[in-house]
A = this chain, B = another copy of it.
């Protein structure tokens, strides 16, 4: 503490500080996921919503520590604590930061399969994906497998530039959204959602909780995107401004086409943020506004299409929000990142398309296998009686507002 500090020491310490600042912000996004879901389900499923998210987080901590992070980056933390101290334990800070991304996977899925899934398959499924599909693709793009993301990887060789995903539109969001889709389909819609051929929307519990969750996500997102620089000297005000403009674009576009629907307004802001992650370091803020606005429209239309036409009962709309808007973000980076469109260049649209397609393929395959096996073995779904009574009483033996007994 009192040793004279050299330039290297302060840079190293600054890197750790910067990463932990970002990690704490992203951790707070998980509170956002919890409240977004708590507001979007019925009163009888709120406790479950609020419990799933931190439980998934804790499970993710364990499996990403033991399996996921070592798999993606080839760095493990066994042996004595003395061996973990180098550079202010930068690697552990980095682990924390990337765990915050990994744990987004079960949090995304949770919103799609809400109100009807058993607790065990929910927890096990999430943990399996955080140990397998996610870190594998992460390793392909950001990690030790020199395939998709690396400057000298396969895609870079093929199309002139590697797959570019600065803050995870594809690695995190598209992956999460497309992992959720098979789970939602295998689970089937909630009782009463589609009845006698009719679509019967199930009213949500609380707009204020949904708004609180959205705010936590919007605020924390700046940690998500900005700290993706990974080291302090690489920090970029451009990334922050792009996130800002995309959020605004998504919100305003969703507002206009939904005629002031409050839920869409909040979701539109999130859609813009999902889409901007990939290219936030290389696009111009005005391009980001456009990318966000398109995402806002995609979400509104996509949600209605999925839930009304396809009759996929995706409670929070996680597939359109993270899956489709995330894929759009991956592609958009290959368009608006081009220097001809005012971007910084160094991207190839074909690489973006290929990388995004590979992500979707992996997600669909691994998710179908995981939830398929769970369905055949322990089963995915609460019994109809349990579902009617609500997951709060069934799984947690307690209600959201216990005082309301009389």
A interface residues with partner B (beta carbon < 8 Å) = 1, 3, 5-7, 9-11, 13-14, 16-21, 23-25, 27-28, 30-31, 34-35, 38, 42-43, 46-47, 50-51, 54-55, 57-59, 61-62, 65, 77-82, 84-85, 88-96, 99, 119, 203-209, 211-212, 215-216, 218-219, 222-223, 226, 229-241, 244-245, 247-249, 251-252, 255, 259-263, 265-266, 269, 282-287, 289, 339, 342-344, 395-403, 405
Kindly identify which residue among B77, B90, B222 contacts A20, using a CB–CB cutoff of 8 Å.
B222
Count of chain copies: 3
B226–A20 touching, CB < 8 Å: yes
Residue of B nearest to A394 (CB): B260
A84–B398 touching, CB < 8 Å: no
B233–A81 touching, CB < 8 Å: no
Which residues on the B side are within 8 Å of A398 (C-beta)?
207, 261-263
Which residues on the B side are within 8 Å of A88 (C-beta)?
233, 235-237
A82–B207 touching, CB < 8 Å: no
Which residues on the B side are within 8 Å of A260 (C-beta)?
51, 119, 395-397
Q: With both chains docked as a complex, state the minimum distance between the C-beta of A4 and any C-beta of chain B, in angstroms.
A: 9
A42–B207 touching, CB < 8 Å: no
Which residues on the B side are within 8 Å of A245 (C-beta)?
61, 65
B50–A208 touching, CB < 8 Å: yes
Which residues on the B side are within 8 Å of A234 (C-beta)?
1, 13
Kindly identify which residue among B65, B212, B261, B285 contacts A77, using a CB–CB cutoff of 8 Å.
B285
Residue of B nearest to A215 (CB): B31
A403–B208 touching, CB < 8 Å: no
When A and B form their complex, which 9 residue pairs have the shortest distance between CB atoms, in order from nearest? A89-B237, A93-B237, A31-B215, A92-B237, A58-B248, A203-B402, A92-B241, A61-B248, A81-B284
Given A20-B235, A54-B266, A222-B27, A285:B251 Cβ within 8 A: no
Residue of B nearest to A25 (CB): B24
Which residues on the B side are within 8 Å of A19 (C-beta)?
237
B344–A400 touching, CB < 8 Å: no
A203–B119 touching, CB < 8 Å: no
Which residues on the B side are within 8 Å of A20 (C-beta)?
222, 226, 235, 237, 240
Bound Cα distance A1, B235 (Å): 9
Residue of B nearest to A216 (CB): B31
Which residues on the B side are within 8 Å of A403 (C-beta)?
42-43, 203-206
A232–B82 touching, CB < 8 Å: no
Kindly identify which residue among B13, B78, B80 contacts A233, using a CB–CB cutoff of 8 Å.
B13
A93–B240 touching, CB < 8 Å: yes
A248–B62 touching, CB < 8 Å: yes
Kindly identify which residue among B25, B54, B59, B81 contacts A283, using a CB–CB cutoff of 8 Å.
B81
Bound Cα distance A259, B282 (Å): 48
Which residues on the B side are within 8 Å of A248 (C-beta)?
57-59, 61-62
Which residues on the B side are within 8 Å of A91 (C-beta)?
237
Given A1-B233, A61-B245, A402:B35 Cβ within 8 A: no
B58–A247 touching, CB < 8 Å: yes
Bound Cα distance A304, B206 (Å): 32
B233–A405 touching, CB < 8 Å: no
Bound Cα distance A208, B287 (Å): 39
List 19 A-B pairs, Cβ < 8 Å.
A1-B234, A7-B7, A14-B17, A14-B232, A17-B21, A20-B237, A38-B208, A42-B403, A43-B403, A54-B265, A78-B286, A88-B233, A88-B236, A89-B237, A89-B239, A95-B237, A95-B241, A96-B241, A204-B403
